[in-house]
Chain A
Amino acid sequence: MTLQEQIRSNRLRSTIVIFGFALLLGVVGGLIGVIFNLSLGIVALVGAGLYAIFAILSSRRMVAGMTRAQEIGPDDLKPLRRVVENVSIAAGLPVTPDVRIVDDPAPNAFAAGLRPQTSYLGVTTGLLRTMPKRELEAVLGHEVSHVRNRDTYLMTMATIFAGVIALIADIGFRMLIFGGGGRGRRGGGALIAILAVVGLILAPYAAMLLRMSLSRRREFLADAGSAEILNDPEAMALALRRLQEDTTTIKYADAAVAHLWVESPTSRVESERGGVNFLSGLFDTHPPLDRRIAALEEAGGFRLPAELPADEPFATELGLT
């Protein structure tokens, strides 16, 4: 599969996902209609649709807000911009994404934006202070792959839809508890109402599962993309190992954008570091780092050394202290 074909299959998948979410949204609206009354279901659906459109339009700013990523001036951190430029050229992106900085000691990075032209990469100061140039390039290659594969588009859509479904299911559920609703108004509808309530409770989880499963496969693809762009699978594996050894987590980890980061920013340490708890694994946004490293080792035909190279972190070159 060439890159372009991969991108096209991703676009197709995006369309399917969006329809899937729309369907799920329809089900939730229908359930509200069944439990309460039809017009309330319609109102909920229209409201949800408007909210989704608003969220899509403002997603760029919302992500920046949720990740606390700061824009940098045109002359700041030139060496970092250069690295991003080189990686983007090697990936064949039409434009170089902007770089934004997250002031956080945890090493991590993310990509955001609906189109490559409006995309930007977020990099934590911790990443710059931890990674030497070679590994930083690999991490940026991973993020650039997300942009190139249109993962950022798909994941932004998935996040918004999952959020909308969770929101109206939650509202419906609260109305059920506090408002009493129209239960039992129709004779013999009790069973249907119970089923509908169960459906209402389960819908957000279905949406979340859908989002997570999409996200995890994409991480492997982006790791592979980085290895291919830089022709250096070992660098990506080294970077992942370094992330694994680091135990700090992002201070303002917002679960809604968890899937955007190169490493899961939340503190679910056990599963992230190679645990096999099936249930907790189900809701992970990222596959365990061990599995990602193993996939790279297998594809590249190498074994990581036990000791990480003690190279100067890139922050020294940038003059960050």
Chain B
Amino acid sequence: MLWLWILIGVVVLLLVVLVYGYNRLVRLRQEVNTGWANIDVQLQRRTDLIPNLVETVRGYAAHERETFDEVTRARTALQQAGTPAAAAVADAGLTAALGRLFAVAEAYPELKASKNFLELQEELTDTEDKISAARRYYNATVMALNTAIQSFPWLLVAGPFGFKAREFFSAEGDTAPPEVSFAA
């Protein structure tokens, strides 16, 4: 009789852990999705600004074909990137290509004085800032999810229910962001 009660107790305990763990993982996964949506919005905004920028620069510096093509290619690569890590690499590529475009623009004083160009440049800088802000949040949520999935006892729940570790948005592979912990 006692054994039966112990058995029931163990089963109930397992059920509680299961339900709590499942809900916790769902919540963490949802946060990761929100974090990714935040990055996606900014990446989208960035790719939307590029055609305008290329057209503006072309108006003043028509023969810099190669630089334009490079920027356009980098933009397409970003649009086609399927995973966070690939998007991060493509985004870094776009930043590099834009850097060259702005370097080219230095040689055209009229372009540099154009109001349209200055506004686009400011918008792009702002988007870059926002991407890095969104990345900080996203990477923190990924870290929380991945830690939960790999730690006991949640890993017992994660496996059967198909919770998978997620990729960081990082061009240098899966590097975890430095953690700041406080004991205040």
Query: Given contacts A92-B137, A229-B136, are A295 and B27 in contact (CB under 8 A)?
Result: no
The reply to whether B136 and A299 form a contact with Cβ atoms under 8 Å apart is no
Task: Place the interface of chain A in its size category.
Answer: 20 to 34
Query: Given contacts A2-B144, A4-B27, A92-B34, are A220 and B129 in contact (CB under 8 A)?
Result: no
Q: Which of A86, A217, A221, A300 contacts B180 (CB 8 A)?
A: A300
The reply to whether B35 and A92 form a contact with Cβ atoms under 8 Å apart is yes
- Asked whether any CB of chain B lies closer than 8 Å to the CB of A233, the reply is yes
Provide the A276-301 mask, 1 if CB < 8 A to any CB of B, else 0. 00000000000000000001001110
- Contacting A at CB under 8 A, from B125-147, are 126, 129-130, 133-134, 136-137, 140-141, 144
Give bound CA distance, A220 to B182, whole Å: 9
Give bound CA distance, A219 to B184, whole Å: 10
Q: Across the interface, which residues of A come within 8 angstroms of B130, CB to CB?
A: 85-86, 89
Please give the distance in Å from A287's CB to the nearest CB on chain B.
9
The reply to whether B144 and A90 form a contact with Cβ atoms under 8 Å apart is no
Q: Across the interface, which residues of A come within 8 angstroms of B28, CB to CB?
A: 2, 4
- Asked whether any CB of chain B lies closer than 8 Å to the CB of A114, the reply is no
Give bound CA distance, A90 to B136, whole Å: 6
- Asked whether any CB of chain B lies closer than 8 Å to the CB of A87, the reply is yes
Give bound CA distance, A223 to B126, whole Å: 25
Give bound CA distance, A85 to B126, whole Å: 10
The reply to whether B183 and A299 form a contact with Cβ atoms under 8 Å apart is yes
Q: Across the interface, which residues of A come within 8 angstroms of B38, CB to CB?
A: 89, 92
The reply to whether A89 and B137 form a contact with Cβ atoms under 8 Å apart is yes
Please give the distance in Å from A260's CB to the nearest CB on chain B.
19
Provide the A49-90 mask, 1 if CB < 8 A to any CB of B, else 0. 000000000000000000000000000000000100111011
- In the complex, what residue of chain A is closest to B143 when comparing beta carbons? A2
Q: Which of B129, B133, B184 contacts A295 (CB 8 A)?
A: B184
- Asked whether any CB of chain B lies closer than 8 Å to the CB of A224, the reply is yes
The dominant DSSP class at the B interface is helix
Query: Given contacts A2-B144, A4-B31, are A89 and B134 in contact (CB under 8 A)?
Result: yes
Task: Place the interface of chain B in its size category.
Answer: 20 to 34
| From B31, B126, B180, residue with most partner A Cβ within 10 Å | B180
Please give the distance in Å from B36's CB to the nearest CB on chain A.
11
- In the complex, what residue of chain A is closest to B126 when comparing beta carbons? A82
- Asked whether any CB of chain A lies closer than 8 Å to the CB of B151, the reply is no
- Asked whether any CB of chain A lies closer than 8 Å to the CB of B177, the reply is yes
The reply to whether B184 and A90 form a contact with Cβ atoms under 8 Å apart is no
Provide the A1-34 mask, 1 if CB < 8 A to any CB of B, else 0. 0111000000000000000000000000000000
- Asked whether any CB of chain A lies closer than 8 Å to the CB of B178, the reply is yes
Give bound CA distance, A227 to B183, whole Å: 13
The reply to whether B133 and A231 form a contact with Cβ atoms under 8 Å apart is no
The reply to whether B133 and A86 form a contact with Cβ atoms under 8 Å apart is yes
- In the complex, what residue of chain A is closest to B125 when comparing beta carbons? A82
- Asked whether any CB of chain B lies closer than 8 Å to the CB of A154, the reply is no
Q: Across the interface, which residues of A come within 8 angstroms of B42, CB to CB?
A: 89
- Contacting A at CB under 8 A, from B80-123, are none
- In the complex, what residue of chain B is closest to A301 when comparing beta carbons? B180
| From B27, B133, B141, B178, residue with most partner A Cβ within 10 Å | B133
- Asked whether any CB of chain B lies closer than 8 Å to the CB of A103, the reply is no
Q: Across the interface, which residues of B come within 8 angstroms of A170, CB to CB?
A: none
Please give the distance in Å from B55's CB to the nearest CB on chain A.
25
Give bound CA distance, A254 to B37, whole Å: 41
- In the complex, what residue of chain B is closest to A229 when comparing beta carbons? B136
B residues lining the A interface (CB < 8 Å): 27-28, 31, 34-35, 38, 42, 126, 129-130, 133-134, 136-137, 140-141, 144, 177-178, 180-184
A residues lining the B interface (CB < 8 Å): 2-4, 82, 85-87, 89-92, 217, 220-221, 223-224, 227-231, 233, 295, 298-300
6 other A-B residue contacts (CB within 8 Å) besides A89-B137, A229-B137: A85-B130, A89-B130, A92-B31, A92-B35, A92-B137, A229-B136
